[in-house]
A = this chain, B = another copy of it.
Amino acid sequence: MKSNHKSGTAFMKEKNKRCVLRCVKEKGPISRSEVADQLQLSKPTVSALVEELLQENWLKEVGPGSAGLAGGRKPIQLLFNSRAAHVIGIDMGGTKVRAGICDLDGQLLAADEFPTQTQKKSLLKALKQNVENLLNQASLNPDDILGMGIGAPGMTDTERGVVIDAPSLNWTQYPLKKEAEALFPWPVMVDNDVNVAVLGEQWLGAAKGMDHVVLISIGTGVGCGMLINGQLYRGATWAAGEIGYMVTDMAKARCADLPPPHEGYGFLEQYVGGAGIVQSMKQELKDQPESLFPNHFSAKDVFQKAKDGDRAAGKVLDEVIDHIGFAAANMISIINPEVVLLGGGISRSADWFLPRIQKTIQDFAPVSAPVLPTALRENLGVVGAVSLVLRETESVLKEL
């Protein structure tokens, strides 16, 4: 049952205080009086809470506003102090790690990246080094840091802060939260990179303020983050959103030359992931050896060739996009989101294939939803990780 009873009135006060803070944060410069109005709290109560929030530096007074039309005393404008605390966000990728410091508005004060180390020990060491640099760059002390969020490329138990399985890093059951908290003097939160990304997009990106969002990320692998009723949905065993395993073509799945996948790669991933694209391309090339492809190439190259007019590459990508279209349509049928975001490396070519995906959706889903590329670029992971901390932290900012 675990009742969060701050046993009584303290809880109520805390809640009201948060409401006041949130109100000021959202409604921009605003007077005590108006806050009282909006929250249906009495003026004295608001004044008292504001007093405390000023004391704690969450709010600041910014001189008088203009008086009302009918005369009267000028209001004292209150503003949220977005520099009351700072949060560090880490985007831990398979090849590089990007770290950044944001203020509470999501403004990036400093960011940097370094190559991913294969050894966990040296990775953490490099991370510590990097974070200290960032602190210096932003002229901040550890005291100014509210917490640190990390997006990891794999299934993650956010409660215990354990990365269950991250193939690209070769991690299994790695207690990242614990390890990181031993290294830094602030709380650390860990989550799946795709989950983190969807948080970032909802905070400051293409899904700003939306409560029902699906983000499909296509890079080396294929992942999917879901915001449902305004909250991240992680599933019963942290495995929700494994869209890489969606089967969009039974016939192929059954008759596959390969045995059923299940070892790290899913059906969809075989076709639309980076590795899958390369493989399909190679398959295609077998039949027409006169092609201009080099012996080794990447998915990116396939895209390039297709844009340059290579028929075979175009054919491969046609199929890829078709799969993505059906995957998106299926997601819409099931989740009915307000928007579907496409992220990952592939999103750079978005305008090229977006119309076709939309067509598929229109033809096969019962309702529609706009499909857009993610709006945040290289800092998406960082900002998302910051948002993770802001949403989950027990601080005054926590939603209620």
A-side residues, CB < 8 A to B, are 1, 3, 5, 7-9, 11-12, 19, 22-23, 26, 38-41, 211-212, 224, 226, 228-229, 231, 233-254, 260-262, 266-267, 322-323, 326, 329-331, 333-338, 363-367, 369
Residues on B with C-beta less than 8 A from A226 are 334
Q: Is the CB of B243 within 8 A of A333?
A: yes
Residues on B with C-beta less than 8 A from A239 are 336, 366-367
Residues on B with C-beta less than 8 A from A229 are 228-229, 231, 233
Rounded to whole Å, the gap between the CB of A338 and the closest CB of chain B is 4
Q: Is the CB of A8 within 8 A of B19?
A: no
- State the 9 A-B residue pairs at the shortest beta-carbon distance, nearest first: A235-B336, A260-B363, A245-B333, A212-B236, A240-B336, A239-B336, A239-B367, A236-B338, A242-B366
Q: Is the CB of A9 within 8 A of B12?
A: yes
Residues on B with C-beta less than 8 A from A40 are 3, 5, 7
Q: Is the CB of B334 within 8 A of A224?
A: yes
Given contacts A5-B40, A245-B333, A336-B240, contact A267 B12 (CB under 8 A): no
Residues on B with C-beta less than 8 A from A249 are 248-251
Residues on B with C-beta less than 8 A from A233 are 228-229
Q: How distant is the Cα of A323 from the Cα of B1 in the complex, in angstroms?
A: 41
Rounded to whole Å, the gap between the CB of A15 and the closest CB of chain B is 9
Q: How distant is the Cα of A323 from the Cα of B250 in the complex, in angstroms?
A: 8
Question: Which of B3, B5, B240, B322 is the one whose CB lies under 8 Å from A250?
Answer: B322
Question: Which of B41, B248, B335, B367 is the one whose CB lies under 8 Å from A7?
Answer: B41
Q: Is the CB of B336 within 8 A of A262?
A: no
Q: Is the CB of A247 within 8 A of B364?
A: yes
Q: Is the CB of A237 within 8 A of B336?
A: yes
Residues on B with C-beta less than 8 A from A335 are 235, 240, 334
